[in-house]
Structure 1
Amino acid sequence: MSATKSYGERAKLHSNPTAKAFLELMERKKTNLSLAADLTSKAALIELADKVGPYICLLKTHIDVVEDFDQDLVDQLTALAKKHDFMIFEDRKFADIGNTVKLQYSSGIYKIASWSDITNAHTVPGEGIIRGLRDIGLPLNRCLLLLAEMSSAGTLAKGDYTTTTVELARKYKDFVVGFIAMRRYEDKEGDDFIYMTPGVGLDQTTDGLGQQWKHPEVVVRDLGCDVIIVGRGIYDQGRDPAHEAQRYQEAGWKAYKERIQLSN
């Protein structure tokens, strides 16, 4: 099982160049923390990315909520990614037919495929959505995560939906490198998917609005996921983002090391 191997060991065997580079990055930087940066101001997003950059492997954006978006924002974020050694994940959650998502991914004001290393999609429309995104992303060395599960209460992404999503990922392994999921699924021969998990918290378990948080130890060590996604727990009002990011980096990495040690 890939969960028993180190990120570095998995990188040596991975067939997707972006996934390979991402696993190498995590091993090199000793972090499995993704920051969910859901900010509406260009200046605030850049400031936050710079502060937490040393501690993260991945900056997760919702670029369409930034009220003063422009190309300079993209240029600054990609420069920070290079400076601090992290990748960028636009959490677009595509959910339309293949032809439409090709346009959404490549065109419009955001041109996501031109700067985002990783993006994601629901599989509700069927495999056409993967083929459409793949047509644009694969030549650019981009890659895709599929939403197999979500962390919100009452989610419909479960059961047969999750099972079908995993099978679609196996069909398009050259482009689909993993899942947004709440736990690791049983591997088949040749599988090495990267599991990224939202709803991770060190200090509380719910926000009262349907979001549920689990401790990094549970997510990484016990449930076998690879990347913890943390947002408000790092930059909520009154928090020091750099300090909190370091706390989560250390907790996530400790849980990962314990998982590897327990399996050997």
Structure 2
Amino acid sequence: MNTFKTYGDRAKSHSNACARSLLELMERKQTNLSVAVDVTKKAELLSIANAVGPYVCVLKTHIDIVDDFDQDLVEQLEQLAKTHDFMIFEDRKFADIGNTVKHQYGNGIYKIASWSHITNAHTVPGEGIIQGLKDVGLPLGRGLLLLAEMSSKGALTKGDYTTESVAMARRHQDFVFGFIAQQQMNQTDDEDFIVMTPGVGLDVKGDGLGQQYRTPHQVIVDSGCDVIIVGRGVYGNPDQVQQQSARYRDAGWAAYLERCQQHKA
């Protein structure tokens, strides 16, 4: 088992610039909550982002599902990130060859690398996908998460797939700073991959479409992960977005403090 460090301690020693920024933000703001805002209208996305902003360390988007996307949306998201002190994670899940993802990341109508601090990728195409994304994102100070595990029932992201994904990450730690996964991935004391975990819920166990939920305590304390990702649990009831954001932020941070307490000498 790795030597335990607080978010702040990890920020001081982390070799990856994007990871340092995230860990510093989490410590400064006392939150390990990421809200996944999967809505299809610009106004709704901005409204939710503004409401959850004070409570999150990361706002997770699916920008390509927004029907009325425009450059103004990006500019407003960037301003909200500065106002409320959070990072933006475009959940693009790149999954093509290196040359193609370079264009998908840097070009097109979305120009993801220009505004999203964090993005992610499947490792199905092999290591070239990391290099292609790195060519675009590293000079901009961006960071990449690899999808080592997923929270949906029957997912094939397990076993050798997960093992190989971790091995690829170790060879690209200047750009790959962590994983989307269900458990801690560090194997030695000098490794410090950040794990962001989807499928977190306080009230339900599944959604009928294969999603499986775990509590913040299960994710942070039992599995040793770092960031909880919550979606519909926060914005499912529009009149309770701030209340639910605070609830999940408090639950996630309480779980982190409990983990800290468990590891004290």
> TM above 0.5, one fold?
yes
- Residue deviations 1:154-178 (CA, integer Å, cap 9, x gap): 0000000000000100000000000
SS at match of 1:4: coil
Structure 2 match to 1:24? 24
Structure 2 match to 1:97? 97
Residue type of the alignment partner of 2:143: C
Q: How does 1:153-192 map to 2 (within 5 A)?
A: 153-192=153-192
Distance 1:116 1:214 in 2: 27
Structure 1 match to 2:117? 117
Moved over 6 A (4+): none
Does residue 147 of structure 2 align to residue 147 of structure 1?
yes
Does residue 8 of structure 2 align to residue 11 of structure 1?
no
1:186 is displaced (CA, Å) by: 4.1
1:143 is displaced (CA, Å) by: 0.6
1:188 is displaced (CA, Å) by: 2.2
Residue type of the alignment partner of 2:131: R
- Cα distance change on mapping 1:20 and 1:38 into 2, 3 Å: same
Distance 1:253 1:186 in 2: 21
Residue type of the alignment partner of 2:58: L
Contact kept? 2:58, 2:89, Cα under 8 Å: yes
1:98 is displaced (CA, Å) by: 0.2
1:16 is displaced (CA, Å) by: 1.2
Stretches of structure 2 lacking an aligned partner (at least 5 in a row): none
1:146 is displaced (CA, Å) by: 0.1
1:237 is displaced (CA, Å) by: 3.3
Distance 1:114 1:14 in 2: 24
Contact kept? 1:235, 1:241, Cα under 8 Å: yes
- Residue deviations 1:31-88 (CA, integer Å, cap 9, x gap): 0000000010000000000011000000000000000000000000000000000000
1:2 is displaced (CA, Å) by: 5.8
SS at match of 1:43: helix
SS at match of 1:110: coil
- Cα distance change on mapping 1:116 and 1:238 into 2, 3 Å: closer
Structure 2 match to 1:202? 202
Cα RMSD over matched residues?
Answer: 1.0
TM-score between both structures, scaled by the size of structure 1:
0.98
- Cα distance change on mapping 1:131 and 1:86 into 2, 3 Å: same
SS at match of 2:192: coil
Contact kept? 1:4, 1:259, Cα under 8 Å: no
Distance 1:150 1:3 in 2: 26
SS at match of 1:240: helix
1:185 is displaced (CA, Å) by: 2.5
Of residues 1-10 and 147-156 in structure 1, the stretch that sits farther from structure 2 once superposed is: 1-10
1:4 is displaced (CA, Å) by: 1.8
Identity, % of aligned pairs?
65
1:18 is displaced (CA, Å) by: 1.4
Structure 2 match to 1:259? 259
TM-score between both structures, scaled by the size of structure 2:
0.98
Distance 1:13 1:32 in 2: 19
Residue type of the alignment partner of 2:242: A
Q: How does 1:65-76 map to 2 (within 5 A)?
A: 65-76=65-76
Contact kept? 2:2, 2:189, Cα under 8 Å: no
